[in-house]
């Protein structure tokens, strides 16, 4: 592995290339512009194809076509751009097309602000498009993790023949850190990977060659229900893939929970609060879908007095998944920023100390 200093957006793109991604279509929007810019330079070097589409809608449907042919393919955007891609993503889910996309999220709703935010959680985990389909959603908290999860996203997508989302934010996308990059997948490995998809991919087949036809759903009612039942079984199988980081939870009386950049800031707050004598820990979901329920279920709620949900979203969004696991057994409180305002360590510390004074 090579070690290099990279910006988050560029690291995601390079990780995708090294994972065998050879097609990218996108459209400019802040704060994810460095992803298509990087692909525009990098893909021609590995005999890949980059296309700047005329719109987000066009971009996602180009990816739909390329991925249907068995090529590892990707797109990216930010918040309102992801909303425009939602129909194409839904079609990929219905047609069982493995594709990866990244949301380097910003404020909202609507056009919102170009500053970082975490206001797309519900869109990502509950309603990425029509029809009730689900996806694995991976939320990095560092540039290194953005690399690792991008690589893993392509593996999950191919395994499940389903879209996978990398849910990041403008802070992770813009910050620079040293990262270790995986080896570049060889041309032979890429060819073998594409050949393994021949049973279903649109690559040209003889009339007598059996294959699993790609189509966006089954139009007969009985067939559509069968497709939905199979999809439900797939979604339930993801429980084994749920990932979370637990930090100093063994004796904690207060648990912070956050994802992405907010979790990174919260982890620093835990260290400071510990030095001040407060028994505080952190649970950081790495997969926000499937949500790491078992990590929360493992908490000793006879010792933990409350959970503090930390998000760059007003109103809070991840809190609904936390509350669903906790089931009103202990309070779930919030520490929130929004409108492009970055979460701060001091705010988290002040919030915890404020609640502790109320005891």
Report the alpha-carbon distance of residue 14 to residue 67 in Å, rounded. Answer: 19
In order of their start, the domains of the chain are 2-197+229-239 (3.40.50.970), 243-357 (3.40.50.920)
Q: Which two tokens stand for residue 138?
A: 């991976």
What predicted TM-score, i.e. pTM, was given to this entire model? 0.95
Report the alpha-carbon distance of residue 116 to residue 78 in Å, rounded. Answer: 10
SS3 168: strand
pLDDT-based confidence at residue 215 (cuts at 50, 70, 90) = low
Check residue 358 and give its pLDDT: 84
Q: What is the mean pLDDT of residues 42-53?
A: 97
Q: How many residues does the chain have?
A: 359
Residue 225: pLDDT over 90 = no
Q: What is the mean pLDDT of residues 277-285?
A: 98
> Can you name the residues that pair with 116 across neighbouring β-strands?
106
Check residue 193 and give its pLDDT: 95
pLDDT-based confidence at residue 214 (cuts at 50, 70, 90) = low
Q: What is the mean pLDDT of residues 53-66?
A: 97
The DSSP element (H or E) to which 289 belongs, if any, is strand 287-289
Residue 212: pLDDT over 90 = no
Mean pLDDT, rounded, of the chain: 94
SS3 319: helix
Residue 285: pLDDT over 90 = yes
pLDDT tens per residue, range 2-28: 689 999 999 999 999 999 999 999 999
Q: What is the mean pLDDT of residues 298-320?
A: 98
Residue 206: pLDDT over 80 = no
Q: What is the dihedral of CA 86, 87, 88, 93, to 10 degrees?
A: 90
pLDDT tens per residue, range 140-171: 999 999 999 999 999 999 999 999 999 999 99
Report the alpha-carbon distance of residue 72 to residue 17 in Å, rounded. Answer: 9
With a pLDDT cut of 70, the percent of the chain lying above it is 94
Check residue 218 and give its pLDDT: 57
Check residue 227 and give its pLDDT: 83
Check residue 330 and give its pLDDT: 98
Residue 207: pLDDT over 70 = no
Check residue 219 and give its pLDDT: 57
Q: What is the mean pLDDT of residues 132-141?
A: 97
- 205 or 252, greater pLDDT: 252
Check residue 340 and give its pLDDT: 87
| 248 class by beta-carbon count within 10 Å (0-12 exposed, 13-18 middle, 19+ buried) | middle
Check residue 220 and give its pLDDT: 61
Q: In this structure, are residues 136 and 238 in contact, taking their beta carbons and an 8 Å threshold? A: yes
Residue 280: pLDDT over 80 = yes
With a pLDDT cut of 90, the percent of the chain lying above it is 86
Q: In this structure, are residues 82 and 59 in contact, taking their beta carbons and an 8 Å threshold? A: no
Integer CA distances (angstroms), 340 to 31, 219, 284, in order? 12, 43, 21
Q: What is the mean pLDDT of residues 101-117?
A: 93
pLDDT-based confidence at residue 210 (cuts at 50, 70, 90) = low
SS3 260: helix
Residue 359: pLDDT over 80 = no
């Amino acid at each position: 592995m090579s070690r290099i200093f990279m910006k988050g957006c560029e690291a995601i793109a390079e990780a995708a290339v090294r994972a065998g991604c050879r097609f990218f279509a996108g459209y400019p929007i802040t704060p994810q512009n460095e992803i298509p810019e990087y692909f525009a330079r990098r893909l021609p070097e590995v005999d890949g194809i980059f296309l700047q589409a005329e719109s987000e809608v066009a971009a996602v449907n180009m990816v739909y076509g390329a991925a249907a042919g068995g090529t590892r393919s990707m797109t990216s955007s930010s918040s309102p751009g992801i909303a425009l891609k939602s129909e194409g993503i839904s079609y990929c889910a219905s047609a069982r097309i493995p594709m990866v996309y990244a949301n380097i999220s910003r404020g909202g709703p609507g056009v919102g602000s170009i500053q970082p935010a975490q206001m797309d959680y519900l869109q990502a985990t509950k309603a990425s498009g029509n029809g009730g389909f689900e996806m694995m959603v991976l939320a990095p908290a560092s540039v290194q993790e953005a690399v690792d999860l991008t690589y893993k996203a392509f593996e999950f997508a191919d395994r499940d023949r389903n879209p996978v989302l990398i849910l990041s934010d403008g802070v992770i996308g813009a910050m620079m850190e040293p990262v270790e990059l995986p080896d570049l997948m060889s041309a032979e490995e890429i060819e073998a990977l594409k050949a393994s998809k021949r049973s279903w991919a649109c690559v040209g087949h003889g009339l007598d060659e059996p294959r699993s036809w790609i189509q966006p759903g089954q139009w007969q009612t009985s067939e559509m229900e069968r497709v939905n039942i199979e999809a439900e079984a797939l979604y339930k199988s993801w429980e084994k893939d749920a990932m979370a980081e637990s930090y100093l939870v063994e004796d904690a009386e207060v648990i912070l929970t956050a994802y992405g950049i907010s979790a990174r800031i919260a982890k620093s707050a835990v260290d400071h609060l510990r030095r001040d004598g407060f028994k505080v820990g952190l649970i950081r979901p790495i997969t926000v879908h499937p949500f790491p329920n078992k990590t929360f279920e493992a908490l000793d709620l006879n010792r933990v007095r409350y959970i503090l949900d930390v998000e760059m979203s007003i109103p809070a969004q991840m809190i609904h998944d936390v509350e669903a696991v906790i089931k009103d057994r202990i309070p779930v409180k919030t520490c929130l920023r929004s409108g492009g305002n970055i979460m701060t360590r001091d705010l988290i510390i002040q919030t915890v100390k404020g609640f502790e004074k109320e005891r």
